[in-house]
Amino acid sequence: MKISWKEFGFAVAGFIIAFLVQEYAIQRHEHIKRIEKEVLKQKIERENQILIRRIEEDFQAFEDSVTGVFVREGQQEDHRLSGPGLSGIKSGIKARLDAERNRIIGAKRKEVDRKIEDLKMRIDF
């Protein structure tokens, strides 16, 4: 069985065209995957911004609540300790209350910062 040059040329041209089409399809697929990944990343960033904003708002409400509780407790202590010569005790109690308030708020801030960091790490996939 003898193959003519013309048939051989068509076979080679068909092979080259198939190869080029396959390479184009691979490149196109990779391009689409990069675009999909970028879109997904932007979506996650938007979701994270919303979640971070909510976490910050919740923290601010928590901080205001804790501060309000400690202010009321400080006012109650002031009423109970009204009298001459008790200013040192009052300032000590105020310092203790401030330290306790700051400890509670600081612990909550660490927790909030950890949550925010976890959300930011979601982007690096």
10 Å CB burial of residue 1 (0-12, 13-18, 19+) is exposed
Return the amino acid letter for 68: G
What digits encode the pLDDT tens for the residues 41-67? 899 899 999 999 999 999 999 999 999
Alpha-carbon Rg of the chain, whole angstroms?
A: 34
What digits encode the pLDDT tens for the residues 90-115? 778 888 888 999 999 999 999 999 99
**SS percent in the chain: helix, strand, coil, step 5:** 90, 0, 10
* Predicted model pTM: 0.67
CA pair distance 54, 42, nearest whole angstrom: 19
